[in-house]
Amino acid sequence: MSLLRGAATSAALVALAACHTSTGLSSATHRAGLLALARSDAADPNVLTMTFKNNQTVSFTWINADSAGTTLAVFHFFPQSVRSRNDTILADTSTVQLTATVTPGVFGFTIAPASVVFNIAGSPTVDVSFASYADFSVADSSPSKYPTSQAFARALKLWYEFGSDQWQAQSTGVTDTLASSALSQPGLYLLAAPK
Query: What is the residue-level pLDDT of the chain in tens, covering all 195 positions?
Result: 443 334 333 333 333 333 334 444 457 999 999 999 999 878 899 999 999 999 999 999 999 999 999 999 999 999 999 999 999 999 999 999 999 999 999 999 999 999 999 999 999 999 999 999 999 999 998 899 999 999 999 999 999 999 999 999 999 999 989 999 999 999 999 999 999
| Whole-angstrom distance, CA of residue 114 vs CA of residue 99 | 10
In a domain, 3, yes or no: no
In a domain, 36, yes or no: yes
| Whole-angstrom distance, CA of residue 46 vs CA of residue 72 | 11
Residue 178's CATH number: 2.60.220
Nearest to 109 by CA among 128, 136, 86: 128
In a domain, 22, yes or no: no
In a domain, 20, yes or no: no
Measured CA angle at 109 (ends 75, 132), to 5 deg? 75
Q: What is the residue range of 175's domain?
A: 27-194
Number of compact structural domains in the chain: 1
In a domain, 15, yes or no: no
